[in-house]
Every structure is written in structure tokens, then in C-alpha cells.
């Protein structure tokens, strides 16, 4: 079954092999902007019991399971396990930015960004069909998986007691995806791109259970089926923070995400079924 969502754009195009930096300029821009914001605010802000700005910088230790199928005009492609079949690393550690701006007493904007791109080279152990190209068993394949995640959400804090709150969220989960297979021996290159701005709804909350300790959590979901498109997403997070000072906290957390998207149109079919789970360790700066 082909599974996709209605607002994603999935296209196939040629690319120069080995170009893993497709998302990194945008990602560097986002992280540089977060650092500039952090330094600018810290120069003028005073300590607050209920911060208006927060920026978290940390490491995301991920474990991933990625299934992908790219169909062509002549028929369905192979369901490919990117880690097992193509040799992509299952576990990795990446830099991550999480931030929010509380622009009114019960209203705030949340933002996150991180890059999960990978590449590998492997002699495949079974035949793979990818976008009408057949790669026989024992073919040496170079694989690239570009994946940058950007999340933005508005939160209404409908229940608030001091720094503890429970809020309803609505926002976008944007997965910028590129998958490329190339066979150096034959010069064959097949590339497919997917930009998925998924609308999500959910809940977000924080419980300040001691003077320096707080527990945070969020859950967001997305599901849609319309015409040639359908898809689903869930994103769950829980974190524990310790406030070393009024403005600086250290924390650990867990994040689990399941993403299943694709598109079925005349002349093109594809499917992406990915999951990543991971632990986080971070510094959080509140102003």
C-alpha cells in the first residue's frame, strides 16, 4: 500500500553523487541565528522567575529505523531497509537547538532544529529496484540520506500556576528529505526528494515540582488522507531539568518520532516509513 500525505511535494531529479551538504547551509543558518539570539538577549536580560525566552543547546543521541520505497513508471520498487540493506549507520549523535518565546502571559512560540543526514557505501546482498533502476545483487552502491527537521508551534497555556503549565499546541513539523542511490561502476544515479510541512496538534506542559527541578513533556500528532495522499506522524518528548541558576539549567530527555509519508500520482509513486528514538542532554538558557 502506498502511504502519503496531501501537502508534501515529492519529486525525482538528478544530483551529483556525494553531495551530502544539501541541508547543512540552512541548518548552520538556524543554529547561528540561535547563538546570536542567545548572546543578544543575555547582554540585556535580567533574571526572571517566569522567563520570556529560552534557548536549549545540546546533543541528540539517536537510534533510527528507516524503510523507503521509490516506485517508477514501470512498476513498484523494492521496500529498502536503509540501515540493513544499504549500510547506513543506525545510531548517531547530532547537535540540536530547542527554543521558545513567551510573547504574552499565556501564549508562546516553540521552535526546534536538527540534522539527521547520513551516507554509506555497501555491496548489496539482494536485488534492489529504485525509481525504475534495477541494481543486481553484489552491486556496490553509494547511498545518501539527507534529513533535516524543523519544528515550529504555537502554544496556548490554558492552565498556568507559576512556572507550571499545561497548554494546547498547533504547528508545523517540517521534514526536508533527500534519498540518493548511485552505482559508481555504471555511473547510475537516482535521487528523490520530499519536503513535508506536516500540520500537527497536541499538548505541551511543564511541572515545577521543586525549587530547582522541573519535568517537561509534549505530544504532537498528525494524520490525513485525501485523494492520492495519506500519512501520519507522532512526536513524543519528556525531559527533566535542573536549574543551576535563575538563567541556566541542565537537562536530559527522551524523544520518539514515527513518520510515515508518501505520494501516489500519475507516473510516480513512493513511500517513506521512518522512526527515530533518542536521548538528549542539553544546556537551557532562560531569560
The domain that contains 233 carries what CATH number?
2.40.128.90
Which pLDDT value is given to residue 142? 96
Residue 3 placed within a domain: no
- Model confidence at 22: pLDDT above 50: no
- Model confidence at 19: pLDDT above 90: no
- Model confidence at 36: pLDDT above 70: no
Residue 2 placed within a domain: no
More confident residue, 69 or 167: 167
240: containing domain: 9-286
- Residue 129, all three cell numbers: 529496484
Which pLDDT value is given to residue 141? 96
Mean pLDDT value across residues 108-115: 97
Which pLDDT value is given to residue 30? 57
Residue 4 placed within a domain: no
More confident residue, 142 or 76: 142
Q: Please tell me the least confidently modeled range out of 101-115, 133-147, 157-171, 267-281.
A: 267-281
Residue 236 placed within a domain: yes
Which pLDDT value is given to residue 263? 66
Residue 59 placed within a domain: yes
Residue 160 placed within a domain: yes
Q: Please tell me the least confidently modeled range out of 89-93, 219-223, 227-231, 252-256.
A: 227-231
Q: How many domains does the chain have?
A: 1
- Model confidence at 101: pLDDT above 60: yes
pTM of structure: 0.81
More confident residue, 269 or 170: 170
Residue 1 placed within a domain: no
Amino acid at each position: 500500500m502506498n502511504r502519503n500525505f496531501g501537502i508534501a511535494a515529492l519529486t525525482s531529479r538528478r544530483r551529483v553523487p556525494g553531495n551530502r551538504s544539501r541541508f547543512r547551509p540552512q541548518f548552520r543558518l538556524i543554529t547561528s541565528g540561535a547563538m546570536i539570539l542567545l548572546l543578544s538577549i543575555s547582554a540585556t536580560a535580567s533574571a526572571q522567575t517566569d522567563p520570556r525566552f529560552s534557548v536549549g543547546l545540546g546533543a541528540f543521541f539517536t537510534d533510527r529505523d528507516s524503510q523507503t520505497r521509490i516506485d517508477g513508471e514501470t512498476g513498484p520498487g523494492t521496500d529498502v531497509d536503509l540501515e540493513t540493506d544499504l549500510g547506513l549507520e543506525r545510531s548517531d549523535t547530532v547537535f540540536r537547538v530547542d527554543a521558545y518565546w513567551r510573547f504574552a502571559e499565556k501564549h508562546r512560540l516553540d521552535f526546534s532544529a536538527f540534522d539527521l543526514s547520513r551516507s554509506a557505501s555497501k555491496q548489496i546482498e539482494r536485488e534492489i529496484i529504485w525509481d525504475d533502476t534495477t541494481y543486481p545483487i553484489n552491486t556496490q552502491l553509494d547511498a545518501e540520506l539527507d534529513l533535516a527537521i524543523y519544528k515550529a508551534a504555537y502554544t496556548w497555556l490554558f492552565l498556568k500556576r507559576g512556572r507550571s503549565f499545561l497548554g494546547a499546541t498547533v504547528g508545523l513539523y517540517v521534514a526536508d528529505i533527500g534519498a540518493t542511490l548511485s552505482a559508481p561502476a555504471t555511473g547510475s544515479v537516482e535521487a528523490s526528494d520530499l519536503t513535508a510541512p506536516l500540520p500537527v496538534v497536541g499538548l505541551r506542559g511543564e511541572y515545577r515540582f521543586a525549587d530547582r527541578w522541573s519535568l517537561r513533556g509534549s505530544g504532537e500528532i498528525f494524520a490525513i488522507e485525501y485523494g492520492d495522499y495519506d500519512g501520519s506522524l507522532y512526536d513524543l518528548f519528556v525531559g527533566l531539568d535542573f536549574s543551576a541558576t535563575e538563567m541556566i539549567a541542565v537537562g536530559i530527555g527522551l524523544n520518539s518520532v514515527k513518520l510515515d509519508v508518501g505520494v501516489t500520482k500519475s507516473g510516480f509513486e513512493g513511500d517513506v516509513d521512518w522512526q527515530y528514538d533518542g536521548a538528549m542532554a542539553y544546556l537551557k538558557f532562560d531569560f
